[in-house]
Amino acid sequence: MKNIAVFASGFGSNFESIVQAVNDGMLNCNCKVLVTDKANAYCVDRANNHGIEVISFNPKDYGTRQECEKMLVKKLQDRGIDLIVFAGYMRIVTSELISAYPNKIVNIHPALLPAFKGAHAIEDSFNYGVKVFGVTIHFVNEETDGGKIISQRSFDYVEGETIEQVEEKIHKIEHVLYVETLKKLLEE
Ligand code: GAR
């Protein structure tokens, strides 16, 4: 059975839905570890509730991103991690991590890439006035939000909806689409 590591920086609702899917037998893998750059984020409480190991680091403790990722790669390899799942991990990664896990790092993005890359995709697409919103899951490469697309799902904007309502729909789609996509990747 494959071992996955989930990387998250915040609320961790995608992490939670992945763990739930593993526990329900929908995903055939071990969710071995949560990696976070935010020791106080709610995703850490979620990991603790599920008895999942947390690797927490402060980027400021490392001279460079590469140095920090070298430490992470070692810890991931020690734990036999096969697949890395970014779920609201808000750091840009370098070739140090990517070359250690080629085509084995996936990310979820709350917009229809290649539109609205970056950390504020929902706000940016809402303010732009798009009529179709969506979610993208893609492989991580050295171009931020630029790796090969694995899956996407969209929905039409209903006139009058608030950003909060759109955001809720996006998160609901994310939780379903990530599990479906990971299921396929884990079967390959
Ligand atoms: C998700 O909407 C995810 O798509 C987004 O952060 C949120 C994390 O929510 N990621 C990005 O914007 C990456 N550029 P969660 O912590 O509740 O899973």
114 three-state secondary structure: coil
Q: Is 109 a catalytic residue?
A: yes
What pLDDT is recorded for position 188? 83
177 lines ligand 1 (CB under 6 A): no
The answer to whether the Cα torsion of 35, 39, 42, 45 is positive or negative is positive
- From the alpha carbon of 145, which atom of ligand 1 is closest? 14
119 lines ligand 1 (CB under 6 A): yes
DSSP run (H or E) holding 113: none
CATH number, domain of 25, equals 3.40.50.170
Domain that holds residue 120: 2-187
108 lines ligand 1 (CB under 6 A): yes
Residues with Cβ < 8 Å from 44, sequence gap 6 or more?
12, 34, 36, 38, 54, 56
Instruction: Supply the DSSP string of 48-67, one letter for each residue.
Output: HHHT-EEEE--GGGSSSHHH
pTM: 0.97
* Distance from residue 15's CA to the centre of ligand 1 (Å): 10
List, run by run, the mean pLDDT of 10-residue segments along the chain (188 residues): 98 98 98 98 98 98 97 98 98 97 98 98 98 98 96 98 98 98 95
Q: How many domains does the chain have?
A: 1
134 lines ligand 1 (CB under 6 A): no
123 three-state secondary structure: helix
Which residue has its alpha carbon closest to ligand 1 atom 16? Answer: 12
Among residues 111, 109, 107, 88, the alpha carbon closest in space to that of 97 is found at: 107
